[in-house]
Structure 1
């Protein structure tokens, strides 16, 4: 699987902070941005950046009288910009349409092999994601990376005079690293992929 690019660049982070980085600091900043990008992608379950993907799905049977089609698949990467190829059990078809992230197949025989033995498999080539990356996602990636960059020891407070140091670690004793705050999660929730149902427009 191709490595996904960071959702923000070192130059973006430097501009946000109003500073320049040494070569060593640039490497550290890039590593943190990569980590923060992975954390954000894992949370919202999206690649986010614009790409073209071919995925295979099992066609889901739906009520043709209600939906005007025999089956559907949910395309997981969003937003869906364009679908360039649909194949049902290896046969290319143009008898489909999109409703948001739902690809609806108008007609297919479920009573003949191989559909009679198992649901048809649908291969879809589609373009998805954002270009450019939404500003709020990019800002959260930079914030998450910067928290570690400016506080690598993850210290919340460090008193002098022999008093103990308080670290930003949970009760388990594991360092937090690059993680999201609850506020950042709430912002990202609008992009998060969740289970849904078919929404078919009439007409």
Structure 2
């Protein structure tokens, strides 16, 4: 599986802080951005970055009258930019159409081999995700990385040069690190995938 890029860059983080990083600091910042990107992707259940993927799914039965097709699969990665190819049990087909995140296959007989023994396997090549990454997602990744960079010990306050510096810590007192706050989760909820077809394998 390909390694997904960070959802924000070291340059973005440096610009937020108004500073120039040393080589060691750049490596630390990149590691934090990678971690924060993974956390955000895990919460949203989306790759987010635009890419083209080939995945195989198990077709599910539908009401042929209501849906005007024999079966469908739901593509998990969103938004869907383009569907390039569809095949059923390794046989390419053009007898399908897209309805939102669903691929509906029209001419399939469920009592014919191999559907008589197991559900058909539908392989779809499609382009999905955002380019560029939405600004609110990018901002949350930068915030999460910045929390650790400026306050690695996750303390509430400390004395610096005779003055007390107070860091932004959630009212709950939890030390978030690169994890998400409840407010950040609420912002990300608009992108979150809550249901979809089970992925069988990726190519």
TM-score category by the smaller chain? 0.7 to 0.9
Post-superposition offset of 1:15: 1.2
TM-score (norm 2): 0.87
Aligned residues: 187
Checking the alignment, whether the CA contact within 8 Å between 2:52 and 2:126 is kept in structure 1 is yes
CA distance in 1, matches of 2:24, 2:148: 15
Q: Partner of 2:163 in structure 1? A: none
Runs of 4+ aligned structure 1 residues displaced above 6 Å come to none
The question of 1:64 aligning with 2:64 is answered yes
1:131-142 matches, within 5 Å, as: 131-142=131-142
2:12 corresponding residue in structure 1? 12
Query: Does residue 1:32 correspond to 2:46, yes or no?
Result: no
User: Aligned equivalents of 2:22 and 2:73: distance in 1?
Assistant: 49
In structure 1, distance between residues paired with 2:75 and 2:120: 16
Specify every segment of 5 or more residues in structure 1 that has no aligned partner in the other structure, as ranges: 160-167, 198-203
Tell me the TM-score normalized by structure 1: 0.87
Q: In the alignment, is the contact (CA less than 8 A) between 2:82 and 2:127 conserved in 1?
A: yes
Matched, 1:186 2:189: no
In structure 2, runs of 5+ residues without a counterpart are 160-167, 198-203
> Secondary structure of the residue that 2:156 maps to in structure 1?
strand
CA distance in 1, matches of 2:18, 2:177: 23
